[in-house]
Chains A and B, each alone.
Chain A
């Protein structure tokens, strides 16, 4: 049974760096084709995929946010961590981590398991 759960601060100040952790179970990030993504959703708005890390440590980022994002994995802890620098009120959103479907090539990513999400508010 695959599960994912996000954790991190609920409130950050503008210009601060956000660090979110995704703790998962039911799969391993050492297994070929496995990947975990971070996806966010501002209140009342569309979903936006931020970053994805693969089993082989390949990392892909949203082009518009690439300069602010870093995604890493900790195999021993079964965790994926996302850092986002220079936070702004427009970054207020629910942040999800999600497991990519493994029965497609690495370049083709839809998401079959999601965490419950964590709301991050950016305000001074």
Chain B
């Protein structure tokens, strides 16, 4: 099974901050990785797929990158609506795994 490890588990930040979340895969997954945002009591929302492609309608302050088995979600300038939990998901050949999530909270 491919495991995904996100860091940090919790991140305290202020509006306007640049925020970076990391997701590390236990083996090579090419760029088959997505990022989701989830707010309490709500379904996840797809932000980025194929490691760096922005889903339609998602603000451009969100970006994704990949280097080997390490993937990064960056929020260039944190906005009030961005306080949420972010999860990565790998989707190699007919397998799917989610990371444990990173909560972005108010500092």
- The residues of A that contact B28 with a CB separation of less than 8 Å are none
| B72 in contact (CB, < 8 A) | no
Closest-by-CB residue of A relative to B30 is A108
| B55 A46 Cβ-Cβ under 8 A | no
- B43 and A46 form a contact (CB under 8 A): no
- Docked complex Cα distance between A114 and B39 (Å): 13
Is there contact, CB below 8 Å, between A112 and B96? no
Interface contact B91-A109, CB-CB below 8 Å: yes
Please provide the chain B residues from 74 to 107 with a CB less than 8 Å away from any CB of chain A in the complex.
87, 89, 91-94, 96-101
Known A46-B98, A47-B89: A108·B46 in contact at CB below 8 Å: no
Q: Size band of the A side of the interface?
A: 20 to 34
Q: Do A46 and B99 touch (CB < 8 A)?
A: yes
Provided the pairs A47-B87, A47-B89 are in contact, do residues A109 and B43 lie with their beta carbons within 8 angstroms?
no
A96 at the interface (CB under 8 A from B): yes
User: Is there contact, CB below 8 Å, between B98 and A110?
Assistant: no
Asked whether A110 lies within 8 Å of B87 as measured between CB atoms, the reply is no
Return B14 CB to nearest CB of chain A, in Å: 25
| A63 CA to B2 CA, complexed, in Å | 12
